[in-house]
Amino acid sequence: MRPFVKRFAGWVAAGFVAIAAGGALVASAQNQTIQTNKPAVEVASQWARDRGDLPHDGDYVLGTLPNGMRYLVLRNWTPPRQVAIRMMIDAGSMQERAGEEGVAHFLEHLAFRGTEKYPDGELNRVFEGLGLQMGDDVNASTGPDRTTFQFDLARNDAESIATGLSITREIVSAMRIAPEMVNAERGVVLAEERARAGPALEASKAMLKLQLGDHPYGRPPIGLRNVIETVTPETVRGFYDAYYRPERAVLLVVGDVNVQTLIPQIEAKFGDWKGRGKPGVDPKPVTVKPPSPDVAMLVTAGAPDTAITLRWFTPYKDREPTKAQLRKNLVEQIGAGIVARRMQGLNEAAGRPAGLIGSASPAQIPGVWSGEMATSARVTDVAKTIDVMVKAHRQALEYGITQEELDRQMQLRLDATKREAERGRTGTSVSQIETALEMIDADIPFISLQQQYQLLLEQAPTITLAEVNAALKARFTDTPMLTYRGAAPPPGGEQALRAAFKAALAAPVTAYKPDAVKPWPYTDFGKPGVVASRETVADLNVTKVVYENGVKLTIKPLPTNKDLISVRVRMGWGRLQMPLNVIDASDMGLSLWSSGGLKKLTVTEQSRTLAGKRAAV
């Protein structure tokens, strides 16, 4: 089964509030949460949209069944005639009790061993009949706080959609958890546990232990070997009944579908689903700072990188989906962005002791933890990296930022958001359903890119220098915790690490003085080339040009990308045409521009000059 990767960290790390946009309305009821066959007891809406005053992107049809199950439907034609289905259960490894470590992941495996309607082996036959392959089109993942089942249908015909919904319903309410199935799958899960064991897992566990203390979110979803070896069908069934319940489920369907006919199918297939037994409970969030040292050193043999992290703790509190909270997020993000730009300059001036230097930004694990984290990676000089990270935050705390910096950062934000709004929502159904999953998991409202831009236009002029500086001071009042991670201890060990941190905290600092933004120096490319041929492909609205020197140019106007020009240069055929002895050097060369800069611009100068533009190799 595919490993679980959490991409969002709640409201703050989501950037603004959503990354969905555009399109015509497809159902008259889309601006309301749909509750069909109104129950005797009113079901409180769990959608973030219904708990605040933010606008809603009408392309996303949100509904709640009388039993509490939620669903999301989004019509998307890319690619045509394909449909992506996801079922998210709001429970994972952190809901497990002692003696159940690994049961949530074990259940994910058992889902494909068979259900009441689809016995063991039958599911594979049905998937093959729909043109689906296990692993690619059919899969599942278990994380600390959710379990997700994936079905990417190759066709949008009635049979495929009906079968996809039928299998999904069977998995969540009629899974067979027989002794022979548990024993048959035990070896598969144990093999996965052995494959995942190693330095990366141990480093992750240690880092989460420092961050969360004993909170169960820090446990690996794969579980404990002794539990996997001995777990009984009764224990697995107990977890299944406690957490696989309609009020904990969200069904998502994105693709080339008819929304008006699909919703009745969802109601018919899932409307009579009822939970069994006593519902499970969730662990409480971290509201008291876990006991941890002010300096920690995590040495893991085989670790691929050396990194330094500064972490500030704040008691967990849910962020409400309101305009007021959105504005507060904006204030914090603007300040964090300015400190990030400053830190790049300080890192450059110090001789680049870290390949990647990070400033603190608000972070959150929804329902679990909140705080500030700054991480620098590819560290070559530990003491200098610590000094740069601490100095940047102390300068912001003691002297604040300037009006010029605020204006520039806000303009960059406005320009970027405007470009996204003009481009609109794009992407395949699979990519959009995965994004929607993360937004639901992080309790983020669905706001279109155009709506985001309008909100930013309203709120940006109201942001003052005083409140950005006040927010910075409020965020960095406590001394952060420092964590070193690497394959070997730093020179001098923990004593030297602690001494470097103490020195950075005590060193005198002066106000930050930003360097001027240099103009882009490369504007003269010599005599224009001579066109050898020119061809227009009318149906694609593409012009193809070939120059005398063999260079080929393809031009395609995109009215949706107003005031935006995208240039991509492709040279040769990559690895296919390279001798084996130069491939490694070529791969390394890809990072030279981003890490070493250009002849006339350092990395930091380049970053300032290209701010607001996308440039990559």
Question: Given this model, what pLDDT does residue 594 score?
Answer: 65
**Do the beta carbons of residue 309 and residue 372 sit within 8 Å?**
no
Q: Do both 266 and 308 map to the same domain?
A: no
Question: Given this model, what pLDDT does residue 41 score?
Answer: 38
Q: Percent of the chain having pLDDT more than 70? A: 89
Question: Does 432 reside within a domain?
Answer: no
Q: State the chain's maximal CA–CA distance in angstroms.
A: 79
Q: Do both 354 and 266 map to the same domain?
A: no
Nearest to 475 by CA among 295, 293, 331: 331
pLDDT category of residue 40 using cuts at 50, 70 and 90: very low
**Do the beta carbons of residue 74 and residue 57 sit within 8 Å?**
no
Helices and strands in the chain, H and E counts = 19, 15
Q: State which residues form the domain around 163.
A: 23-270
Per-residue pLDDT at 220 exceeds 90: yes
pLDDT category of residue 610 using cuts at 50, 70 and 90: confident
Per-residue pLDDT at 5 exceeds 50: no
Question: Does 39 reside within a domain?
Answer: yes
Question: Given this model, what pLDDT does residue 560 score?
Answer: 62
More confident residue, 560 or 296: 296
Which whole-number Å values give the CA distances from 575 to 18, 126, 285, 589, in the listed order? Answer: 37, 40, 49, 13
Q: Do both 265 and 325 map to the same domain?
A: no
Of 253, 270, 287, the domain-final residue: 270
More confident residue, 289 or 516: 289
Contacts of 478 (CB under 8 A, 6+ apart): 312, 313
pLDDT digits (tens, 9 = 90+) for 57-116: 999 999 999 999 999 999 999 999 999 999 999 999 999 999 999 999 999 999 999 999
pLDDT digits (tens, 9 = 90+) for 450-500: 999 999 999 999 999 999 999 999 988 889 999 999 999 999 999 999 999
Question: Given this model, what pLDDT does residue 158 score?
Answer: 96
Q: Do both 137 and 213 map to the same domain?
A: yes
Question: Given this model, what pLDDT does residue 614 score?
Answer: 67
Q: What DSSP state is assigned to residue 153? A: E
pTM value is: 0.84
Question: Does 277 reside within a domain?
Answer: no
Q: Do both 60 and 184 map to the same domain?
A: yes
Q: Do both 126 and 266 map to the same domain?
A: yes
pLDDT digits (tens, 9 = 90+) for 386-428: 999 999 999 999 999 999 999 999 999 999 999 899 888 999 9
Question: Does 521 reside within a domain?
Answer: no
Question: Does 33 reside within a domain?
Answer: yes
Burial class (CB in 10 A: 0-12, 13-18, 19+), 184: middle
More confident residue, 591 or 334: 334
Q: Which stretch, 170-174, 340-344, 554-558, 604-608, has highest mean pLDDT?
A: 170-174
- DSSP E strands, 480-587: 481-486, 531-537, 542-547, 552-555
Question: Does 523 reside within a domain?
Answer: no
Q: Do both 196 and 321 map to the same domain?
A: no
Across the chain, mean pLDDT equals 88
Nearest to 132 by CA among 155, 162, 166: 155
Per-residue pLDDT at 221 exceeds 80: yes
Question: Does 377 reside within a domain?
Answer: yes
Give the least confident one: 1-5, 294-298, 410-414, 437-441.
1-5
Of 506, 521, 555, the domain-final residue: 506
Q: Do both 337 and 456 map to the same domain?
A: yes
Question: Given this model, what pLDDT does residue 9 score?
Answer: 41
Question: Given this model, what pLDDT does residue 607 score?
Answer: 72
pLDDT digits (tens, 9 = 90+) for 223-251: 999 999 999 999 999 999 999 999 999 99
Supply the CATH number for residue 221's domain: 3.30.830.10
Q: Do both 134 and 258 map to the same domain?
A: yes
Q: Do both 157 and 305 map to the same domain?
A: no
Question: Does 526 reside within a domain?
Answer: no
Please state the rounded mean pLDDT for residues 16-37. Answer: 34
Q: Percent of the chain having pLDDT more than 90? A: 71
Q: How far apart are CA 506 and CA 520, in angstroms?
A: 39
Q: Do both 220 and 303 map to the same domain?
A: no
Q: Do both 93 and 165 map to the same domain?
A: yes
pLDDT digits (tens, 9 = 90+) for 371-385: 999 999 999 999 999
Question: Given this model, what pLDDT does residue 154 score?
Answer: 95
Q: Indicate the number of domains in the chain.
A: 3
